[in-house]
Amino acid sequence: MPDPVEPEHGQTAQYPRELDAYNKWRDQDLSVAYGSTLATRLRALTLRFNQYVLDPKYSMIQHRTLKDMIRELQNGGTELSDEQQVLVVLRSLPEQTWGHVKLVLTHNEQIKTFDGIANHLKLKADRRKSECAQQAALVAHAGQRKPHKGKRWNKPTGARQSQT
Per residue in 9-45, pLDDT (tens digit) is: 666 667 777 777 777 776 665 544 454 557 777 888 8
* 54, HSE (Cβ side, Cα atoms, 13 Å): 26
Q: Residues 85, 113: contact at Cβ < 8 Å? A: yes
Q: Residues 114, 86: contact at Cβ < 8 Å? A: yes
Segments in the chain below pLDDT 50 = 1, 31-33, 35
Angle at 148 between CA 143 and CA 149, to 5 degrees: 150
The pLDDT assigned to 25 comes to: 72
The pLDDT assigned to 24 comes to: 73
pTM above 0.85, yes or no: no
